[in-house]
Structure formats: C-alpha cells, structure tokens
Amino acid sequence: MRDNKIVDLHGINVSCNECSLHQLCLPQSIDGAELEKLDYIIERKKPLKRNEYLFQVGSAFDSIYVVRSGSLKTFSPTIDGQEQVTGFHLPGELLGLDAIGKGHHPCVAKALETTSVCEIPFDRLEELAQELPTLQHQLLRLMSKEIFDDQELMLLLGKKTAEARLSAFLLSISLRFKQRGFSSTEFYLSMSRNDIANYLGLAVETVSRMFTRFQDDGIITAERKHIMIKNWNALQQMAGISQLSEKVSKSSI
C-alpha cells in the first residue's frame, strides 16, 4: 500500500498555491518562498482506489495526510475480529495526527471511493515549523481543531437515542461539506449504512429505519447515498445540540 509511486496528477504539477483546499490546510498562513519550501516536501501520491488502504494498524508513522478528493474511513479491529469505525475523512481533513505520539498508526485508513491525498513527511514538517513561526502556529491550530472536532463527535455519540445520533451525524456531515464550499443541503454519503451504524453504535436496521422515518416525515430525502436535507430545523431539534451550527460556522480555521 505504501509503495505507491509519487505522480504528478493528470500530468500537471499540483502546487499548494493552486489547491482549492489551501485555506483549510497548512499553507494557509505562509506565502512566497516559504510556501515553496512546504510545497517541496509534500508528496502527492497516486490516487487510492475504493477499498485500498492508506495505512494499516501498527504501520510506522512518518507522515500525516490531507485528503484532496474522495474520502476515507478509519477503524480499529475489535476483539471479535470485527471493525469499529472511528471516523470519516472528507476533503481538506487531516489523517494520521493520532499517530505522532506513538510512532505507529493506531487505526486503519481505507478509501471509501477513489481518493487522492497529499502526504506530508512529519519530520520535515517539524523542521520547517521550527523555522517558520506561522507554520508552527497553523500546525498547532489544526491539531487543536482536530481535538475540537473529536469532542464534537463525542457529543454526538453521547446522545441516547438513535434519532438524535443519526440527525446529529447528518448535520455534522452537512456542515463539513459546507465548510469546504460544497452544498450543505444536498450531498452524497460515500460510506455504507453499515459504516454509519457501526460508527454510531447502532444496528444497520435501526439506521435504515431512521432514514425511512426521516424521509416519511419530510425532513430529508434519501435515495441510497444521495441525501437532501429538507428541514434543517427539525434535524437540529432532534439532534438536541444547541450550538452545533454556530460553532462550526464561526470556525475560522
């Protein structure tokens, strides 16, 4: 998995400068010669096909990754040989930050669709951050955002009812798309119902039933993976989180 050749995507040299995710990513705060330095250390790997792995449990940590397009899920194996999904990763989001401390990845990252990522060798990033105060600052901000987002998700998983969990999940996905300039009311879920159920600590059947119920109530339309949010307020009401939307929209990261 990790022996993919580095390629110029579609024959062009994709630089941070031209990247649509620039604002969300590390280069946000630097420019000119500094940006070139960062650009230089970033490796752009051959896109992953669906079900290919970016890294495996226990594999050595040496890079963090930014999703450029597509999406991945991360999961941990459980005692009974199942997997437990710990997260979904959309364009502009980082992967691998949980591995810095231990030096190896605590989870598996698997592409949910054709997915391309930027690979940033961490030791070189650290060196660069030592040189460039604004880069260090941005790196710390991004890690803080990761912690914040994780806590947001714990808020989601701490909900008691299936209704509250699924609606909070849909809102969360929706807002993440919005942050990246995509529609927040119409999108495709790249993960299966099974993955969603697993992630939310519910049975697949319960998730399926909730989807049909939300649809019957006119709150969403869900045709397979294609979701449209019809009644945002109702979703928020059910999710029962006061500041989910404000929190995220206030975000300046």
Would you tell me which residues interact with DNA (CB under 7 A)?
Answer: 50, 160-163, 192-194, 201-209, 211-212, 222, 224-225
CB 49 within 8 A of CB 32: no
Contact pattern for a second copy over residues 146 through 175, marking x by CB under 8 A: xxx-xx-xxx-xxxx---------------
Return the one option of a second copy, DNA, none that residue 90 interacts with (CB less than 5 to 8 A, by type).
Answer: none
CB 110 within 8 A of CB 54: yes
By the rule CB under 8 A, 250 interacts with a second copy:
yes
Contact pattern for a second copy over residues 113 through 152, marking x by CB under 8 A: -------------x--xx--x--xx-xxxxxxxxxx-xx-
| Maximal C-alpha separation, the chain | 57
By the rule CB under 8 A, 93 interacts with a second copy:
no
Return the one option of DNA, a second copy, none that residue 207 interacts with (CB less than 5 to 8 A, by type).
Answer: DNA
What is the token pair recorded at 96? 């691998």
The residues, ordered by sequence, that sit 6+ positions from 82 with a Cβ below 8 Å of its Cβ are none
- Paired strand residues for 84: 76
Helix, strand, or coil (residue 244): helix
Return the one option of DNA, a second copy, none that residue 50 interacts with (CB less than 5 to 8 A, by type).
Answer: DNA
Helix, strand, or coil (residue 170): helix
Residue 216: CB minimum distance to DNA, A: 9
Question: What's the one-letter identity of residue 135?
Answer: L
